[in-house]
Every structure is written in structure tokens, then in C-alpha cells.
Structure 1
Amino acid sequence: MTNLIIRNAAVEDVDLIRDVYRRSSLTNEADHDLIAANPEWLVWDEALLPFADVAVVDGRIVGFATARPVDDFLELEDLFTDPDWMRQGVASALIAVIAQRGMRIEVSANLAKAFYESAGFVVIGFADSPGGPLVRMQREVSQP
């Protein structure tokens, strides 16, 4: 995708990030009951803005990721793609940009386990979450 640009998120992006977050979250029908019981889960936390990158195509935000530093690694808090842009390389491009920071990346994955494995992550354990157990994964990244 030659016209994909990844840049740091800005305050004016928050509403669009929240829209992508909400619509992407609703694509997993298996989560609908949990989301109905916890509607606050559909509101992206603006406190993560300093750690967010957005993927933009022709001026439109088509995905975003947040990777927050924790000790000696980056915690991938969010990786969401606009449903109209899923399976077109947006999430992979966001991971590639985060990997350029030269730190190990860790994530708690749900149904996206296969995607993360394809992006170089390996399973390191399990984590509890309000929605149930998640697979804990990491991607080692060599220093630049």
C-alpha cells in the first residue's frame, strides 16, 4: 500500500481514533455480549494519546496502535484497523513502525493470536482480563 502514512497521533485525531476503535471492536460477534454488559469498553482512553500512532490513507485514519513503555519493553495496548481496511496490511505496517523503536514488544492477544504470530510474536504465557483469559505474546526486536 504505497499511499499509507503512519504518523504520531494528534489531539484532533481522538474522535476518529475512537470511531475506528468502536467499529473495529464490534466486528467480533463473539464479544457482543461482553460489550453489551460493559459498554465503557467501546470508549478509547484518550490518556493513551501520547503513545499512539495512526495509519492514514488519503487523509483518512484507517487504523491505529498504542505502544506504551513499561520497564524494558513496549506494551502494545491497542492495534485496531477500520473494518473497511482490514486484511490490507495496515496492522502489519503499524507493528513494523513500532518495532523500529528497538524494544521488545509485548501484547495480550485474543482472537488475533494468529495475526501476531505472523508478525513475529511468540506465546510466552497467559494473562487474565475482565473478558476472560488472553494469550500473552512478545516480539523480540534487535536494537537499530
Structure 2
Amino acid sequence: MRAEVIIRHAAAEDIAALRDIFVRASLVNEGARELMAAHPEWFAWDDAMLPFTRVAVAGERVVGFASARPDDGFLELEDLFTDPDWMRQGVASALVADIARRGLRIEVSASPDASGFYESAGFVAIGMAETEGGPAPRMCLEAWRGS
């Protein structure tokens, strides 16, 4: 990473940065651009996720975030986004490791564009899920693998 990245709980003053990263990171993937054009409502940050969100901060700048909410004995990874200027700098990996420290299994319906990242982070495919954007790999990271 270019600078030291600190992971902390998200705060209300981070919401503008979360919205910005969410949209800009989504636009990096061509398939997401098409979905965003067709369904802009899918690409709106949900303020209700704030209590479940961790942010990666470099200096004073939010450079990524992850939202994982409890769901029947595991954590559902709802969001994992990195500022495009910070991609491939270890931000997403640091956020996944931070969530894994909670000691619960993490599950995600991965976009096909992100499944390679999740595999490299230790997630394994456990099936397919139907999402608003179509079929997506369902993946899992056991707590012991992420600790």
C-alpha cells in the first residue's frame, strides 16, 4: 500500500465518500456500467448499512469500505468497494481480514467480475445465487481461514 491504511468503523461524516467510492468503483467493471445505466437504483448507498460498515482510511481520506451484517450465524458481505485510485494496493484484502477477525463465517454473492479476488482471499464457491443482476457465484470464507 502507498500509505498506511487504518480500518475503523464508518461514521455519518463518511457517507459522502462511501457513496462516491461505491459509484466510481462500480463503473470500473464494464458489466456494472451497463447495469448501472439500466438500473441506477441498484447503485445507491443505503444509509441503513452504516452500523455494519468498516472503512479503510489513508491519512484523512476514505479509500475503501466493506459492509457485513449478521445473518443467522454468519456475516453477509453486502459491500466491498475500493476507491479506483487505490485498487490493487491491498485495501480490499485488509477489509476482508478485518471482518474475518470477528470469528464468523463470511458469505457473499460475488459479482462475476470479483470472484477471482474472493478466491485469492480464501473464499470458496458454495453454489449460485439469483441476484437482481442475474446469477452470481455464492462464496464462503470460513472464520478459521481468515483469522
- What's the TM-score, normalizing by structure 1? 0.96
Structure 1 residue 139 corresponds to structure 2 residue 105 = no
* Structure 1: tracts of 5 or more residues without a match: none
- Do structure 1's residue 49 and structure 2's residue 41 form an aligned pair? no
Q: Secondary structure at the match of 2:132?
A: coil
Deviation digits for residues 63-106 of structure 1 (CA, Å, limit 9, x no counterpart): 00000000110000000000000000000000000000000000
**What is the letter of the counterpart of residue 56 of structure 2?**
A
Partner Cα separation in structure 2 for residue 3 and residue 49 of structure 1: 23
Aligned to 2:15: 14
Segments of structure 2 that go 5 or more residues without pairing to the other structure are none
* Paired-residue identity, %: 62
- How far apart are the structure 2 equivalents of 1:139 and 1:42? 25
Counterpart AA for 1:75: E
Q: Which residue of 1 aligns with 2:81?
A: 80
Task: Look up the match of 2:127.
Answer: 125
**What corresponds to 1:5 in structure 2?**
6
CA distance in 2, matches of 1:102, 1:39: 35
For 2:95, the aligned partner's letter is L
Normalized against structure 2, the TM-score is what?
Answer: 0.94
Measured in 2, the distance between the counterparts of 1:105 and 1:31 equals 23
Runs of 4+ aligned structure 1 residues displaced above 6 Å come to none
SS in structure 2 opposite 1:78?
strand
**Deviation digits for residues 105-136 of structure 1, max 9, x if unmatched?**
00001111111011010000000011110000
The C-alpha deviation readout for 1:28-66, integer Å capped at 9, x for no partner, is 112222211111122111100000000000110000000
